A = this chain, B = another copy of it.
Amino acid sequence: MFSALFIPASVASVKITVLSGGVGGARFLRGLRAAASDASITAIVNTGDDMTLAGLRIAPDLDSIMYTLAGQNDEDRGWGRVGETERVSAELDAYGVGWPWFTLGDLDIGTHITRTSLLATMPLSAVTDRITARWDLGVHLIPMTDDRVETRVHTTDGQNLHFQEWWTRYRASLPAASFEQSDVAAASPAPGVLAALRDADVVLLAPSNPVVSIGTILGIPGIRAASAETAAPVVGVSPIIGGAVVRGMADACLTAIGVSTTALAVAEHYGSRTSGGVIDAWLVDEADAASVAPLTALGLRARAVPLYMRDAATSRQLALDALALA
């Protein structure tokens, strides 16, 4: 059994690299920062959900992580900035350039204006460095790519939607036939991404959406190979607890790609590195303890622990458990 008292010293100067989506990944990273405060933590963040609204470039996952690590997130609502107002959005609606199904808060718009203006002269990774420098995040955020790769959803009724429209406007209720990353073939990992995987002591997959968050990151040419080839152990944290998603609608995404909404099925989807996959170990919830044996049979180290991140303490403990499994 890994000792919590022993961990902080042992992970001093350890390099931890995390593949992460938005809200769930943000909570996991906050717990990881608390669990391994002396470690050097890098998050490679999904940007497939990014979009342009009224000319403003929005990066939901990067911002969710930044706000959460900065202590600026709205814990009650579960997303966005705390103390948010929506005066600008009301103006955009009145002028006819808003998106009624996607409201931007005023503080959030401050971030988007900043990002959009900086993007005129530097790539997203450099912009992210500039923006995150405002706070002492304790985690280095790198977008998966500086190129524009957009997750599109092909619905069974023939529509081709930006992921955000499908997710936020339709609450993932339109059955998805497939997901597509536009322009992904020409995309490259952002500077630092491959090195962060190659030089890591531990690689973690946050309990983010396996399809449109982690899956999108792994789809950038070179990232899957770097994950498969790193000398570091790669540990995934299941986003599924007891056959259900903890938050969000990842089940709709899994269904579309033919993967069951179970901790075991998601691990099989990622695959063991011993057989061409990307993970060495898989952390499941106590409710899914029965999957530990079949996971082991797949060549994965597995362990069942409490996965639900209800507060700082449980998030930190989850991160400790993930590190222990590494």
Contact = CB atoms under 8 A, between A and B. Distances in A.
Interface of A: 54-56, 85, 87-92, 94-97, 106-107, 109-111, 113-114, 116-118, 120, 130-131, 134
A91 B111 CA distance: 7
A88 B117 contact: no
8 contacts: A55-B117, A87-B87, A88-B107, A92-B110, A95-B111, A95-B130, A95-B131, A109-B109
Contacts of A95: 110-111, 114, 130-131, 134
Contacts of A109: 88, 91, 109, 113
Contacts of A113: 54-56, 88, 91-92, 97, 109, 113
Interface SS of chain A: helix, strand, loop or mixed? helix
Most buried by B among A54, A87, A96, A116: A87
Contacts of A107: 87-88, 91
Nearest to A56: B113
Count of identical protomers in the assembly: 2
Query: Which 3 pairs across A and B sit closest by C-beta, in order of nearness?
Result: A91-B110, A55-B117, A95-B114
Given A55-B120, A106-B106, A114 B91 contact: yes
A109 B109 CA distance: 10
Nearest to A81: B91
A56 to B, nearest CB: 7
A106 B118 contact: no
A91 B91 CA distance: 18
Nearest to A110: B91
Nearest to A133: B96
Contacts of A111: 91, 95
A120 B120 CA distance: 14
Contact of A87 (B85, B97, B130, B131): B85
B106 A87 contact: yes
A115 to B, nearest CB: 9
A106 B90 CA distance: 10
Contacts of A90: 110
Nearest to A54: B117
Contacts of A54: 113-114, 117
A88 B116 contact: no
A88 B86 CA distance: 11
Nearest to A55: B117
Given A88-B110, A106-B88, A96 B55 contact: no
Contact of A97 (B55, B91, B94, B118): B118
A65 to B, nearest CB: 16
B97 A114 contact: yes
Contacts of A131: 95
A273 to B, nearest CB: 40
Contacts of A91: 106-107, 109-111, 113-114
Given A87-B110, A91-B111, A106-B88, A96 B130 contact: yes
A90 B107 CA distance: 9
Given A54-B117, A91-B107, A95-B130, 13 more contacts: A54-B114, A55-B120, A56-B113, A85-B85, A87-B87, A88-B88, A88-B109, A88-B113, A91-B113, A94-B110, A95-B110, A109-B113, A113-B113
